[in-house]
Chain A
């Protein structure tokens, strides 16, 4: 059903129609010559102009001509072919639109379009003269008047680190909607800032922000790919100060998290990697670097439900805006589907309307990229149940635009195409919020059930876009190799104290954080018993855990010991749990008591009788049934996901440290009470069904 949302699309169309300026038609239309393009219209938007025209029978392609003119329409520059349009995008090939961009916003131009049959040029359309939209914000209105260094330099310079800090601080100071928080510091001690944007004000704590189903944009991970970052900074100003009802409506239904520069050191030195030469988009799972660790902790604390990750792309044969979902096969299917819906369902459609060529990532010659490395944010986020996409801004002019090198024109084309994409991303979240949350909830439950094979490397296939036109070639298949598949998933990984707490050398300057610190940054449940540290797989990031802890992991942290279930099948009579007990596909008839220092991990298990734990090491249950009450006290690790509890449930005085107890997607046929736990339990945004009253710390779960 994800591809059929007529109502949402209708609403989105209405919004678009009411919020954009009316197109400028060609005036004094003369009688059309044979094969002359007619009905040329131009619609202005932020940094680009959408041309549309009546197609000509037999046209191979169309040339778009732009001429700078003065206020009287008299040319002040030479006519230039600024674009080629041909039916090469995924949808709506019969309704040509072209997003012309690269010009200085606010300048006035004349446009004409002509068809070509083969290489034979047909007559130009009648000209249309229009003034483009000036940089957003009234120059006389406080806040709106702010401009980035990139804007004031007419794109000759990118916004520097210090100008970014001043600009975002000014937005923060002038807008109640914006709070700038520092997520961490780079290796060279530059702040990594995030704008937290909500209406009328952003929620005050990360947990409260998380409850708004936020969206996150990572603007600049590769320091030499700065185009998306400038779009983020402009959009931050629009979100902060716009009185457009669309903007206030968006911000009333979510919180927008914008991280302009995770790699400030690389940006300052124009390098891809950080100051140690590490490509940060090969580090989001391992989090060896402080920059990636800061982002992953942000994801843990703010819990974005959807994301975009901005890049530039050296492939000159690609479309304007190649996009790619999380493909790793350990990503839950609903998250993959939702991400694909965002790209192919929304971006392709809206791109065809605006004239941008959004396309699959692979394109021609994209043979060695777009794969399943979980170290890439796109995949890491998918494994964290975040619907998301990579965004590429094609570096060069490509097949449809002039090749302008790294000039201001090319920079503006890239940045304003990113600005369009990020706004569309917000619109998609607004229109499809419920679907996004449903797919996330389903994925969390799928992951926590710990069923099915594990794949260490390997992608879900991305088929070519279906007829009428497949457009670009899809990314490579990248099926998992046989030696990178584990059919028999363990229940947990056991780490020694040396593995868990030992010193590491894989960070900057040969100093790495411990495995314990990295697991905490990911937010996983860990159970400590007297014989080691256990990381159970029946939790929301089940797909990511083995990639870092299994001996077969391609880029792993350590060689954890696979622990398999110790209790399966039918068991009658009371059960006293000592040590680490893992139940899977079990039926336990009788009360279960988890002894002090012991741990119970269970999936697909039915327990007929009460379950109680006092001073236990951990209770981690998923996809199970407890026919009786559940009582957990003074215990260290707790996660209860997708469990039916036929009785009251209570969590009291538990000491779960910084990792909160999880209660997500459960059905509790009785009251739910949580009292005096060191950290309030959370539901990760996946509501529980509780038949009785919910009280104290669980009142909102």
Chain B
């Protein structure tokens, strides 16, 4: 940034793009509230794209579910696993689906890296079963799931859903950390633990080694 004229230019552009009301405006109307239609709830939501950020919840509401999942930063492991397993594309076209999506941190706390790569590259059947443990037919808000008390995932397991303070607890091990994302024919609830029957392989001192 040794060129002062370019620096000034960039500052000007940045100011133009800043999405806040200018002090000299005479129009008191606030920016359009884009969150009311798609209110996501939970402690993680503030760290995810909000407002008019790329990948915000209102934008995702109009996206196919596989595309919507690609926009949620903390779901990279789940999104790739879902894609690799084919669990979603196995469903008949147009099927409504609710996705309990464990965060990247949840996967890292559950599977060692070697174990995870082994599942991803060599054991697609196990992987598909694992992913089905996170899919429910129909679109269900987190409140609907809590009201029902139990729900059945596509791997044939019955999962309990209880209210715990401001959020919901699933299978007595996972909390909804950002619930009620909408996508086309879908609801997405981000959870903080992996469901399903596979054993934990991540060690307490496990760390990724270069």
Contact = CB atoms under 8 A, between A and B. Distances in A.
A407 B47 contact: yes
Given A133-B1, A153-B55, A154-B54, A138 B121 contact: no
A250 to B, nearest CB: 14
A405 B104 contact: yes
Contacts of A72: 23
Given A153-B55, A404-B47, A131 B14 contact: yes
A271 B47 contact: no
B80 A154 contact: no
Contact of A156 (B6, B54, B117): B54
A153 B116 CA distance: 27
B47 A409 contact: yes
Interface residues of B, number: 51
A21 B73 contact: no
Which 6 A/B pairs are nearest by Cβ-Cβ distance? A369-B209, A270-B80, A277-B121, A314-B208, A156-B55, A314-B207
Contacts of A311: 208, 210
Contacts of A76: 20
B55 A157 contact: yes
Nearest to A268: B80
A621 to B, nearest CB: 38
Interface of B: 1-3, 6-7, 9-11, 13-15, 17-18, 20, 22-23, 44, 47-49, 53-55, 70-74, 76-77, 79-80, 83-84, 103-105, 108, 113, 116-118, 120-122, 205-210
Interface in A63-118: 70-72, 76, 106-108
A108 B10 CA distance: 13
A305 B205 CA distance: 36
Contacts of A270: 76-77, 79-80
Interface of A: 18-21, 70-72, 76, 106-108, 131, 133-134, 138-140, 152-158, 222, 224-225, 243-245, 268-273, 275-277, 279, 281, 309, 311-315, 324, 361, 365-366, 368-370, 376, 378, 390, 392, 395, 404-409, 411
A393 to B, nearest CB: 11
B61 to A, nearest CB: 15
Contact of B53 (A156, A324, A405): A156
Contacts of B210: 222, 281, 309, 311, 313, 324, 361, 369-370, 376, 378, 390, 392
Given A131-B11, A138-B6, A405-B47, A156 B208 contact: no
Contacts of B18: 70-71, 107-108
Contacts of A71: 15, 18, 20, 22-23
Residue of A133, A275, A309, A324 with most partner-chain B CB within 10 A: A133
Given A131-B11, A269-B80, A368-B209, A70 B121 contact: no
A134 B10 contact: yes
Contact of A225 (B13, B44, B122, B208): B208
Given A107-B18, A277-B120, A390-B210, 4 more contacts: A154-B49, A158-B76, A224-B77, A365-B207
B47 A275 contact: no
16 contacts: A21-B7, A71-B20, A106-B14, A134-B14, A138-B9, A138-B10, A222-B208, A271-B80, A273-B121, A275-B121, A312-B208, A366-B207, A405-B44, A406-B104, A407-B74, A408-B49
A222 to B, nearest CB: 8
A262 to B, nearest CB: 14
Most buried by A among B18, B23, B118: B18
A224 B117 CA distance: 10
A366 B207 CA distance: 8
B117 A277 contact: yes
Contacts of A157: 54-55, 70-71, 73
Nearest to B47: A407
Contacts of B113: 224, 272
A225 B79 CA distance: 15
B3 A243 contact: yes
Contact of B73 (A156, A281, A309): A156
B15 A156 contact: no
A245 B11 CA distance: 22
Given A225-B208, A272-B113, A405 B55 contact: no
A71 B19 CA distance: 10
Contact of B120 (A271, A315, A369, A376): A271
B122 A277 contact: yes
Residue among B3, B53, B71 with most chain A CB within 10 A: B53
Given A271-B121, A272-B113, A153 B54 contact: yes
Q: Which has the most chain B C-beta neighbours within 10 Å: A152, A155, A365?
A: A155
A273 B115 CA distance: 11
Contacts of B44: 405
A281 B104 CA distance: 22
A19 B2 contact: yes
In this complex, the member of B76, B121, B210 whose beta carbon has the largest number of chain A beta carbons within 10 angstroms is B210
A271 B117 contact: yes
A272 B208 CA distance: 10
Given A406-B104, A406-B105, A411 B208 contact: no
B116 A405 contact: no
A27 B41 CA distance: 40
Contacts of B47: 404-405, 407-409
Contacts of B79: 270
A241 B9 CA distance: 17
A689 B83 CA distance: 60
Contact of B1 (A21, A140, A275, A405): A21
